Structure 1
Amino acid sequence: MVNLDFSVYTAYNANIDAIARLRQEVIQNVINEFDPRDVLERIEVYPREISEPLDFVARLVHALKLGKPMEVPLVNEKLNAWFDEKFRYEERLGGQAGIIANVLAGLRIKKIIAYTPFLPRRLANLFKENVLYPVVEDGRLKLKPIREAYRKGDPLKVNRIFEFREGMKIKLGDEMIRVPASGRFIVSARFESISRIETRDELRPYLRDIAREIDGAILSGYQGLRMKYSDGKDANYYLRKAKEDIMAFKDEGVKVHVEFASIQDRKLRKKVITNIFPLVDSVGMDEAEIAQILSVLGYRDLADRIFTYNRLEDSILGGMIILDELNFDMLQVHTMYYVMLITHRNNPLTEEELVKILEFGTTLGAARAYLGDINRPEDYEIGLKVPFNERGEYVKLRFEEAKSKLRMREYKIAVVPTRLVKEPVLTVGLGDTISTGVFLAYLEFLRKKFLTG
């Protein structure tokens, strides 16, 4: 367990996650409403956004066939009624910034400040009671309990998470589909009213005051941006504001971590990574997101290999390229079977310390998967009882092989097998949880280095 005497700021994306644990008969009934030929044709088209029910069914069937987590944006607000008619949900706090805030709050760190530009009451009530929210009152910054800081009339974002289980069987025409692995299919709301990732103008002058209150900042949600808005603003406008936010923290000595997420639009993806990554200290992602970034940086062959084969040595090579091309300090990668840190050789931490950082992250993730939530620091201990996954020795072997094949002398690299819960209580946000633990441990080890010289 790391020292929890830290204060952390997290922004920007928080929403309601409406979780539907899919039953076989429910999925089958929805699929049966459509002609199988239409579903198969739409799967071939591979819609990258959901504007009608057939788009949803096609992408859901595709996810079930592969047994892999997927996310597709919902762009038609009128479909909310259709989804609510077909499925039943359990609501919890979602969005990377929201999930991270509640994990930090459950760990009872010294101070957790969460910020989202939209805070309707229904959303505010899902945060833990010890989370603070920055407001400006009488020309002064005030940190209020977030549950008291809600604003009437703010728009609400609801993401729907459809969880499916290994072994489920679905019939599509003459084809019987057996789901090969448990996973989730996320339908993320991407309406214009909730797609403005920013610090509101009234708070912006006080960002340096917030920075003096914290040790680290975890920023996320850039995938929610749009290329253009109806009021004439565009992604460039919001990215300029985002860069100003980061520099306000950096100028006060705050360590900044960005938690990346898949961005379907290639142009927007490139804008985000080239504008944001070079300014921050660390970035977190999964192996598919490594491939996405490599693709826009021009490394198409390597990106395709990662998408196709998921080989550890390809992810390591891709990570080293990303670190060099975008010039930040540390890349953190979380996957089902391993977690990884890559830094430049001049990083003050040793590879042994990087291993300890990763072990804290995967243990925290295992605890949350096992319990469903982190409500007290002692919950972390549960993760220590979860064994490393059955491919752990294979992961270690592949890492040793990668060391013999790749030129790693300019880097420090650590790879640790994940602690994997066989039947997790939840799967949403586990990568964010691991990243939170890694970032906390990273802050602690850097503090120790600074104090000991």
Structure 2
Amino acid sequence: MWDELYFRALERVKGALPRIKGVLLAYNTNIDAIKYLNPQDLEDRIEKAGKEKVFRCSEELPEKIIEVPHLLGGILWSIKRGKAAELFVESRGVREYMKHWGWDELRMGGQVGIMANLLGGVYGIPVIAHVPQISKLQAELFKDGPIYVPKVENGVLKFVHPKEFSRDEESLTHYIYEFPRGFEVFGIKAPRENRFIGSADDYNPNLYIRSEFEENFEKIAEGVQLAIISGLQALTKENYTQPFEEIERHLEILNEKGIPVHLEFAFTPDETVRKKLVDILGKFTSVGLNEVELASVMDVMGEKKLAERLIAHDPVDPIAVVDAMIKLAEVTGIQRIHFHTYGYYIALTSYRGEYVKDSLLFAALAAATKAKLGDVRNLDDIGKALDVPVNEKAADIEDRLKKEFNLDNGIAVVNESQLSFVPTKIVAKPKSTVGIGDTISSSAFVSEFALRAAL
């Protein structure tokens, strides 16, 4: 059944995508320096930094990295759980340590950068991207296609490709430590492939917003149909007030124009910021998150037991997921919640339609393509993931949802909302995991609204 549904969804979405005439992407873009971890090298570094202290740091993630054991402990935290995490590197010394550790390749980074290359460079959808610093290297990492940044010349607002921006600003580097499934250090084996991210720049963590955006946001918004907001995860109780004032101003403008807005959540260590995000979530149309992020939201909402249920099992308990999604929708009033985890996706929407499930299927194909090939080069590439097998373990997940919520053909009605479920395709040996979450969320959000427009 699912193979046929995947094929049909791909054909429908490919036909619908040209209906989207513009997507706004804000706020975080950077350069990813990717390091493929070596077990012996990592063990040596942990021993040198103090094994006991590193292991203590691996039990619970700190709010930020201020010493080398925090970095290595964070990496170990991700390896133990097979979970992604990202922390801001405050210490200049640790930044130098990472720089000297080196990297294997440089890629486009930041949720905005990754989504811009996918939506504009692959799907051919015009996008307007916020790029905090447009260095020559950063600009060169953008694909060709309808990808634009605002530029003001002689008081006139223009939209140009980043390569045509013509100013060499600072390069913002984030260090990505990738590991495969089965990666082992000190007897700790990774249950699945993933990565740990140390973000080492002073623009994205403070949510620096360019003057072109601040002064011309209303004009910028006139050229788009959809918006995706991301990059709020590194804010802290010390620096979040002013950026949130600007975000809320942007949301008011987008809401006034009737532009659906998606928040791409990411693990946010600071509880104050997480609470603030929950407070303003109702101003968004949609939110995308995984189990770690959903658990962190439940935690600040006072749902401690539900938060524990979300991270207690692997694969993630789907009943706990749905319970948490219902709770989040009730508290915030948000119309669309998209949950993605290894092996399956669930969407809870206040509206109903088969197109919601189709958008999830398309997103799963895009993610499998990125995992299989390392990059999605063009729209035809996505068809190459049709032969990737559907997650075998998802049948048990589907059965549980059928028994609990009367799921039928991937769809159920829960509390007058629609629940949509799809099993994902699993690439046995992915080339990379970086950017897969951003690929999933942006593909699902944009394709859903493209399919809706086609009705």
TM-score, with length taken from structure 1: 0.90
1:368-400 deviations in Å (ceiling 9; x for gaps): 111111221111111222221121211211211
1:333-391 deviations in Å (ceiling 9; x for gaps): 111011111012xx2x32x2221121111111111111111221111111222221121
Amino acid at match of 1:416: V
Which whole-Å CA distance do the structure 2 matches of 1:199 and 1:255 have between them?
A: 21
Three-state SS of the structure 1 residue aligned to 2:257 is coil
Which whole-Å CA distance do the structure 2 matches of 1:328 and 1:46 have between them?
A: 29
Contact (CA 8 Å) 1:117, 1:198: kept in 2 or not?
A: yes
Shift of 1:139: 1.9
1:21 has 2:36 as partner:
yes
Which whole-Å CA distance do the structure 2 matches of 1:247 and 1:373 have between them?
A: 35
Query: What RMSD over aligned residues (CA atoms) do the two structures have, in Å?
Result: 2.2
Which whole-Å CA distance do the structure 1 matches of 2:403 and 2:357 have between them?
A: 18
What's the counterpart of residue 446 of structure 1? Answer: 452
Amino acid at match of 2:391: N
1:287 has 2:287 as partner:
no
What's the counterpart of residue 359 of structure 1? Answer: 361
What's the counterpart of residue 218 of structure 1? Answer: 228
Shift of 1:330: 0.5
Which whole-Å CA distance do the structure 2 matches of 1:315 and 1:150 have between them?
A: 47
What's the counterpart of residue 269 of structure 2? Answer: 264
Distance 1:44 1:92, change over 3 A: closer
What's the counterpart of residue 395 of structure 2? Answer: 393
Select the residue among 2, 17, 21 that pairs with 1:4: 17
Contact (CA 8 Å) 2:121, 2:144: kept in 1 or not?
A: no
1:89 has 2:104 as partner:
yes
Select the residue among 170, 174, 183 that pairs with 2:194: 183
1:255-309 deviations in Å (ceiling 9; x for gaps): 211111111010111112312x111111111122111111111212211211223
Amino acid at match of 2:342: M
Contact (CA 8 Å) 2:371, 2:427: kept in 1 or not?
A: yes
Distance 1:311 1:150, change over 3 A: farther
Amino acid at match of 1:4: L
1:129-159 deviations in Å (ceiling 9; x for gaps): 222111122222211011121533x443211
What's the counterpart of residue 236 of structure 1? Answer: 241
Contact (CA 8 Å) 2:25, 2:129: kept in 1 or not?
A: yes
Shift of 1:188: 2.1
Amino acid at match of 1:395: I
Distance 1:150 1:338, change over 3 A: farther
Amino acid at match of 1:111: P
Which whole-Å CA distance do the structure 1 matches of 2:356 and 2:154 have between them?
A: 45
Distance 1:11 1:386, change over 3 A: same
Select the residue among 424, 432, 437 that pairs with 1:418: 424
1:151 has 2:167 as partner:
yes
Contact (CA 8 Å) 1:4, 1:107: kept in 2 or not?
A: no
1:428 has 2:444 as partner:
no
Shift of 1:47: 3.4
Amino acid at match of 1:179: A
Contact (CA 8 Å) 2:75, 2:195: kept in 1 or not?
A: no
What's the counterpart of residue 372 of structure 2? Answer: 370
Contact (CA 8 Å) 1:106, 1:374: kept in 2 or not?
A: no
Contact (CA 8 Å) 2:28, 2:204: kept in 1 or not?
A: no
Mean Cα deviation higher: 413-422 or 302-311: 302-311
What's the counterpart of residue 316 of structure 1? Answer: 322
Amino acid at match of 2:405: K
Which whole-Å CA distance do the structure 1 matches of 2:218 and 2:60 have between them?
A: 48
Give the length in aligned residue pairs: 433
TM-score, with length taken from structure 2: 0.89
Q: Identity rate of aligned residues, in percent?
A: 29
Which whole-Å CA distance do the structure 1 matches of 2:440 and 2:451 have between them?
A: 16
Three-state SS of the structure 2 residue aligned to 1:106 is coil
Which whole-Å CA distance do the structure 2 matches of 1:417 and 1:267 have between them?
A: 34
Which whole-Å CA distance do the structure 2 matches of 1:198 and 1:35 have between them?
A: 36
What's the counterpart of residue 381 of structure 1? Answer: 383
Three-state SS of the structure 2 residue aligned to 1:242 is helix
Amino acid at match of 2:17: L
Which whole-Å CA distance do the structure 2 matches of 1:149 and 1:77 have between them?
A: 30
Shift of 1:443: 1.1
Contact (CA 8 Å) 1:354, 1:414: kept in 2 or not?
A: yes
Shift of 1:404: 5.5
Shift of 1:54: 1.9
Distance 1:148 1:408, change over 3 A: same
What aligned pairs does 1:396-411 form with structure 2 within 5 A after superposition? 396-403=398-405, 408-411=414-417
Three-state SS of the structure 2 residue aligned to 1:203 is helix
Contact (CA 8 Å) 1:365, 1:434: kept in 2 or not?
A: yes
1:122 has 2:124 as partner:
no
Contact (CA 8 Å) 1:170, 1:177: kept in 2 or not?
A: yes
1:60-84 deviations in Å (ceiling 9; x for gaps): 2333333332323211123222122
